[in-house]
Amino acid sequence: MSLSVKQHCLFGTILSYSGDPFLAPWQEVSLLQTQGCIVIENGHIIDMGDAAIAQKYPRASHHNYGDNILMAGFVDAHMHYPQTAMIASWGKRLIDWLNTYTFPEEARFCDPDYAQMIANRTLDLVIDHGTTTLATYCTIHPESVDAIFSAAAERNMALVAGKTCMDRNAPDDLRDTPQSAYDQSKALIEKWHNTGRARYAITPRFSPTSTPDQLAALGALWSEHPTCVMQTHLSEQTDEIAWVKSLFPTARDYLDTYEQFGLLGENGLYGHAIHLEPREIDRLAEVGASVIHCPTSNKFIGSGLFELAKLKSRGLSVGVATDTGGGSSFSMLRTLAATYEIGQLTHTPLHAAQLLWLATQGSARALKLDHTIGNLAIGYASDIIVLDPTKIPALAQRTQASNDLWEILFAIIMLGDDRSIRATWINGVNQKNHS
């Protein structure tokens, strides 16, 4: 081993998966190893098993997390980093909330220094909450894309992001054109896509804010760059759907406003997807696209109940996300608590193993990154978090009353937040500020 190669041994209870706990009984595919060890080197897991394997790595530094739980870092598959400073803004419905709070805040990102400040703030916040990968919208300003990709590169963080394109139904200073959306997105793809851990997402905000010409231009761009993901919003609120119908009178449904213009595909990420027609579900399943569940946002903006069990049973790929700032928390633990509650309201009691899988492998699959992130196994990225239930008194006392690890994990989901994240390892470095 060369002296410049840094190895770390992380000791604790290890949570990993060998399959999808929605397709197989969760007990068969969800693995909890007590007194385990993960060995990391150069940003990857090079060994994993019983604590005794550490003997094979005499030069490694040791990090003993006792009986805390080590798991893959959370993957937030849909958020808006430019909305960080206006999270928790009171509003009536989606469109009113966008016009009143979101658009004025996004207009501030014409200033690259402001964009850089919020990009850094967002990544520090999410890392504190245990998120190691984000798929984020930016604003129409290319500088907002540069800001978040460079902030992620400084932290060696895997990031999916793209310029948000809008050429109608938005304020003058937040509109581009079909041509400038195409040209600027293309230049950003050439600058960032597949550089280090960066992946570009072609990003029409949603069909009400793009003309057919802009949707067609972005559809053409996607066909020229098929390894990019494409992210947008779909069927979030009933009044939004009615608006889409009036803007696209010949479309068969909301999804068709994307499909007609080449914006439906396997690498497509469709945020919310609450009020879907049967044809939309069939088409999303046929092409292998992913839908992203944003439960705190759906409660906060009053959008409706996402039908997770139904969509999973139809074979859809489903990720979960905060949707900050429509979502009311940066925490994927709070997001999973809301996923559980919406599951209850749709008669689907989700197990902790299923919830934690959704926030790791589920979201990583949606982003097409599941071969490198979202699980703990040899060869995977060393994006690892440490869950500690002792820091929150209500959670600590609940944990003491239990000897079963799944019971503890469920309590961490329901009662935990950033205080329950002891460390956030990204690419071989603990990036959590106050661990």
Return residues touching ligand GUN (CB under 6 A).
80, 94, 98, 102, 205-206, 233, 236, 297, 301, 323, 326
- Judged by beta carbon distances under 5 to 8 A according to partner kind, the member of Zn ion, ligand GUN, none in contact with residue 206 is ligand GUN
Count residues near Zn ion (CB under 5 A). 2
Phi then psi dihedrals of residue 286, to 5 deg:
-60, -45
Tokens of 37: 């060890």
What is the distance between the alpha carbons of residues 107 and 118, in angstroms, rounded to a whole number?
13
Taking the C-alpha atoms of residue 265 and residue 259, their distance in angstroms, rounded to an integer, is: 8
Q: Considering the complex, state which of residue 128 and residue 240 has its C-beta at the smaller distance from ligand GUN.
A: 240
Q: Which partner in Zn ion, ligand GUN, none is near 164 (CB below 5 to 8 A by kind)?
A: none
CA distances from 401 to 12, 63, 334, 405 (A): 20, 27, 22, 11
Q: Which does 236 bind (CB under 5 to 8 A by kind): Zn ion, ligand GUN, none?
A: ligand GUN
What six digits make up the tokens of 262?
């080449």
| Residue 369 binds which of ligand GUN, Zn ion, none (CB < 5-8 A, kind-dependent) | none
Q: How far is the CB of 150 from ligand GUN (least distance, A)?
A: 23
Comparison of 128 and 236: residue with beta carbon closer to ligand GUN: 236
The closest residue (CB) to ligand GUN is 326
Our CA angle for 165, 215, 307, nearest 5°, is: 85
Whole-number Å distance between alpha carbons of 37 and 59: 15
In whole angstroms, the minimum distance from the beta carbon of 174 to Zn ion comes to 15
Least distance in angstroms from the C-beta of 360 to ligand GUN: 23
When CB distances are held under 5 to 8 angstroms depending on the partner's kind, the choice from Zn ion, ligand GUN, none that residue 280 binds is none
Q: Answer whether 389's CB lies under 8 Å from 29's CB.
A: no
Q: How far is the CB of 310 from Zn ion (least distance, A)?
A: 22
Contacting range for Zn ion; rule: CB under 5 A; set: 8-16, 48-56, 219-227, 315-323 = 315-323
Which is closer to ligand GUN, CB of 56 or CB of 168?
168
Applying CB under 5 A, the residues found at the interface with Zn ion are 271, 323
